[in-house]
Amino acid sequence: MPAYATNMRLKFPIVALVLEIITIILFAVFAVYDDGKSHGHHDAHSNETHHEEVAPMELYPMFQDVHVMIFIGFGFLMTFLKRYGFSSVGFNLVLAAFGLQWGLLTQGIWHLDDGKIKINIFKIINADFSTATVLISFGAVLGKTSPVQLLIMTVLEITIFSINEHLVANVLGANDVGASMIIHAYGAYFGLAVARVLYRPSLRNGHENDGSVYHSDMFAMIGTVFLWMFWPSFNSAIADPGFSQLTAVINTYLSLAACVLTAYAVSSLVEHKGKLDMVHIQNATLAGGVAVGTCADMNIGPFGAMLIGFVAGIISTLGFKFLTPILASKLGIQDTCGVHNLHGMPGILGGLAGIVAVALGKKKGGDAAMQAAALASSLGFALVGGAVTGLIMKLPFWGQPPDQNCFDDSIYWEVPEEDEENEESLAHADHSKNKAEV
């Protein structure tokens, strides 16, 4: 397959090392520890400035919850593919590890203090958040992109994210505490735009490796459950301390709980013989966390949060069942993980709920028009940014895998070979076979 040039020996190391060296130089120039004496500290996702009084380590447990969501949650959620587990959790790790450094820079540049980015727990939470956009988009193109392509996507997507975030939070002054719009909708539509540009007609009828086996679905549930449990931290981490934060926790907790019931109910309703489908359970149970994000710290009432989760679980499950196949066949959007159903539509739902809630006066000082502008901005940056990024990723020298090697670790990883002498060990024979082919 010389046309594809999938051999990564020089390309990937060079890109990774050059990016890391540039990043370290930028940190040497711009980054210092926050000594607590700054006066120019602004919230990234809200227009309040209440965080100065916080003790340096106050948010640390919240940070760790978000950290687990990024590295275990997103990483394992994508391990459902039978032969793509190494790549799912492994590329997730390297993209997020680079992305958080890049996000610290691109977010920090808007909030310089004496020309410096002062790093604290609040900033590293936001850096982790910025990587979530990339990990969502990664889900859309999972199995069809090389690590070099993904590193390039990381640089571009986080840079554009930081511009849109600044616009939404600081220019428009919109509310999006749980980031339904600026992370979930943005990450999903960015990824879908990339997927559209990278459309592979020959995969229209599926691919033999684009499916799960029993234990890969179990690994994916580790990701699902960690995301589900810690989502209240995601939605409340950067809320104002005290009762706003408590409100965000309770709303997210209840929205997710309600969402689980509707995801299960609708999965059983639409599937053959009323059976449950692991794809729905792994993903649609989380839609309540996405959809309640924008309103999480608003006074929508416990029952309002549950209604949002209730609707999100239904929309998301129906999306997996009916919309994803249509997107692939009619629009040429091959969305491997169905991020449109988990992050796209629930993200828009969250943005719309935010407009309504602000219009109903559920958030002091909110402005429904600005909420609407924030949603439009997030979608616009996502679609345009994703399309441009997709075009750059399509350049032939980034090592994009050929169709027949999609969804297969063995193109980028040393996959364990079975012992030839031991004829009983057939369990993973498929892997060794595959490896030989490459």
Which of the residues 205 through 234 are near a copy of itself (CB under 8 A)? Answer: 208, 211-215, 217-219, 221-222, 225-226, 228-230, 233
Q: How far is the CB of 196 from a copy of itself (least distance, A)?
A: 28
Nearer to a copy of itself, 124 or 337 (CB): 124
Kindly give, in sequence order, each residue whose CB lies less than 8 Å from that of residue 133, ignoring residues fewer than 6 positions away. 157, 158, 161, 183, 186, 187, 190
Task: Spell out the long-range contacts of 429-435 with Cβ–Cβ below 8 A and sequence spacing 24 or more.
Answer: 430/83, 431/83, 434/83, 434/408, 434/410, 435/410
Q: Cα–chain-centroid distance for residue 122?
A: 19
Question: Binding to a copy of itself (CB under 8 A): which residues in 133-172?
Answer: 147
- Our finding on whether 56 is near a copy of itself (CB under 8 A) is yes
CA distance 433 to 110: 51
Q: How far is the CB of 131 from a copy of itself (least distance, A)?
A: 10
Query: Which region, judged by CB under 8 A, interacts with a copy of itself, from 38-46, 162-170, 190-198, 419-427?
Result: 419-427
Q: How far is the CB of 318 from a copy of itself (least distance, A)?
A: 13
- Our finding on whether 120 is near a copy of itself (CB under 8 A) is yes
Question: Binding to a copy of itself (CB under 8 A): which residues in 20-49?
Answer: 20, 23-24, 27-28, 31-36
Burial class from Cβ neighbours inside 10 Å (0-12, 13-18, 19+) for residue 388 reads middle
Q: How far is the CB of 197 from a copy of itself (least distance, A)?
A: 25
Q: Provide the b/e sequence for 141-163 (b: ≥16 CB within 10 Å).
A: bbbbbbbbbbbbbbbbbbbbbbe
Size of the site for a copy of itself (CB under 8 A): 126
- Our finding on whether 360 is near a copy of itself (CB under 8 A) is no
Question: Binding to a copy of itself (CB under 8 A): which residues in 283-342?
Answer: 285, 299, 301-303, 306-307, 310
Q: Provide the b/e sequence for 352-379 (b: ≥16 CB within 10 Å).
A: bbbbebbeeebbeebbbebbbbbbebbb
Query: Which listed residue (190, 253, 381, 398) binds a copy of itself by CB under 8 A?
Result: 253
Q: Residue 364 region, left (φ>0) first, then alpha (ψ -120 to 50), else beta?
A: beta
- For residues 63 and 230, is the Cβ–Cβ distance under 8 A? no
- Our finding on whether 433 is near a copy of itself (CB under 8 A) is yes
CA distance 65 to 151: 25
Query: Which listed residue (276, 326, 369, 376) binds a copy of itself by CB under 8 A?
Result: 276
Q: Residue 327 region, left (φ>0) first, then alpha (ψ -120 to 50), else beta?
A: alpha
Query: Which region, judged by CB under 8 A, interacts with a copy of itself, from 40-48, 89-97, 197-205, 371-379?
Result: 89-97
Question: Binding to a copy of itself (CB under 8 A): which residues in 168-207?
Answer: none
Query: Which region, judged by CB under 8 A, interacts with a copy of itself, from 181-189, 240-248, 359-367, 378-386?
Result: 240-248
